[in-house]
């Protein structure tokens, strides 16, 4: 960490906090934000000073290139508070490295660890009262970067804005969901930006997801361009349990290297589960569902941690998954193990948690 960068951080606090009017018991994910945000501008080939200031709209020129050519990336992270008021981040180094991988893929500048992780820690220190104790409570962290240079010439921007927002959070999804396996639309392609956490990846999902919801499903399980292999579920990585083995697709140009995904894989192996990281064929899952050996499907991501799937549709057929008792469900066992680790309620054998 560069202490000079942090020593020169500019802090402007709100006159009156809105925390006393915030309903922490009825939190809609990602809808409300804390008093302050962190910003940093990139101009003339270098990052400027960090600034923590009141949360407020950002003013951009209508020709800012983010609007026209989509140079926009983001991350999703969480902070947790122990009963003794200590606040912890979960694997922030993974989000930092992935953020820079996304930046490189979209011809954007990388950012240093001091501004990303150091700046984030300073922001959370200012907003520490917004981090609530208790299992299930967290502070969702949204770092992002957008292209801000004006002009509609089709070329990479030379100016950017890095920003971090904070939002109190509870569970993102509630209950099991029904999904539809994609047999026409694709989320990403070889050589594309599917592995980057780029804004355009998500906007491209909205229309097929809307069609699935109109057909009575909550989400889409995305397939590759040939629609023969299963890759992600909605905005999450996806796991399949056949008998007592967990399967998930390897990361690639098309599949996001999810922090929750890799954490669940490590936890599953630590708990003695058999895990196979290999391409997952649609026909293999259909066959397993018909034979009764397909026990579980679940999504994995920062917001929801784990989201159980109760059944899936493929073309004109619907397949209901068996109703497994909670204590026997791998999805819930892994979610319980991970959330307890994140909240410092159990030991952290992997040294994943980082104190603010």
Taking the domains of the chain in order of start, what are their residue ranges? Answer: 3-169, 177-342
Instruction: Report whether 258 contacts 252 (CB < 8 A).
Output: no
pLDDT at residue 303, as a whole number: 85
- Both ends of the chain: CA-CA distance in Å? 14
Strands 305-314 and 51-54: unpaired
pLDDT at residue 299 in the model: 95
pTM, rounded to two decimals = 0.94
Per-residue model confidence (pLDDT) at position 217: 96
pLDDT (tens digit, 9 = 90+) per residue, 100-152?
Answer: 999 999 999 999 999 999 999 999 999 999 999 998 899 999 999 999 999 99
Separation between Cα atoms, residue 96 and residue 257, nearest integer Å? 13
Q: What is the pLDDT of residues 30-65, one digit of tens each?
A: 899 999 999 999 999 999 999 999 999 999 999 999
Beta strand residue intervals within 2-35, DSSP E: 10-11
CATH classification for the domain delimited by 177-342, as one of 3.40.50.10440, 3.20.10.10, 3.20.20.70, 3.30.565.10: 3.20.10.10
Per the prediction, the chain carries an average pLDDT of 95
Amino acid 189: pLDDT: 87
> Which pLDDT belongs to residue 72?
98
Of the candidate ranges 15-29, 76-90, 166-180, 275-289, the one whose mean pLDDT is the lowest: 166-180
- Residue-level pLDDT at 173: 57
CA distances from 194 to 79, 191, 254 (A): 26, 8, 4
Q: CATH says 3-169 is which class?
A: alpha beta
Percent of the chain with pLDDT strictly greater than 70? 99
CB-count exposure of residue 324 (10 Å: 0-12, 13-18, 19+): middle
Find out whether 267 and 333 touch, Cβ atoms under 8 Å: no
∠229-231-236 over CA atoms, to 5°?
A: 160
């Amino acid at each position: 960490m560069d202490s000079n960068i942090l020593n020169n951080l500019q802090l402007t606090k709100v006159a009156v906090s809105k925390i006393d009017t915030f309903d922490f018991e009825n939190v809609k994910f990602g809808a409300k934000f804390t008093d302050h945000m962190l910003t940093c501008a990139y101009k003339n080939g270098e990052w400027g000073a960090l600034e923590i200031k009141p949360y407020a709209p950002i003013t951009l020129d209508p020709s800012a290139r983010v609007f026209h050519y989509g140079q926009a990336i983001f991350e999703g992270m969480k902070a947790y508070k122990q009963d003794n008021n200590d606040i912890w981040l979960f694997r922030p180094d993974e989000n930092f490295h992935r953020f820079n991988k996304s930046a490189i893929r979209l011809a954007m500048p990388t950012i240093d660890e001091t501004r990303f992780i150091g700046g984030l820690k300073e922001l959370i220190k200012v907003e520490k009262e917004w981090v609530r104790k208790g299992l299930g409570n967290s502070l969702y962290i949204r770092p992002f970067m957008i292209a801000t240079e004006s002009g509609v010439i089709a070329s990479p921007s030379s100016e950017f804005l890095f920003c971090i927002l904070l939002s109190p959070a509870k569970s993102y999804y509630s209950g099991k969901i029904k999904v539809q396996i994609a047999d026409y639309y694709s989320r990403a392609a070889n050589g594309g930006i599917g592995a980057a956490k780029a804004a355009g990846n998500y906007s491209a999902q909205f229309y097929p997801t809307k069609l699935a919801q109109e057909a009575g499903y909550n989400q889409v399980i995305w397939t590759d361009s040939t629609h023969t292999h299963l890759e992600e579920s909605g905005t999450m990585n996806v796991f399949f349990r056949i008998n007592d083995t967990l399967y998930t697709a390897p990361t690639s140009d098309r599949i996001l290297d999810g922090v929750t995904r890799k954490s669940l894989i490590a936890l599953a192996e630590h708990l003695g589960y058999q895990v196979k990281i290999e391409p997952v064929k649609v026909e293999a899952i259909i066959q397993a569902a018909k034979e009764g050996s397909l026990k579980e499907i679940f999504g994995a991501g920062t917001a929801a941690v784990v989201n159980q799937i109760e059944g899936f549709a493929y073309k004109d057929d619907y397949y209901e998954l068996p109703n497994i008792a909670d204590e026997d469900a791998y999805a819930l066992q892994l979610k319980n193990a991970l959330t307890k680790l994140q909240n410092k309620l159990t030991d952290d054998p992997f040294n994943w948690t980082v104190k603010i």
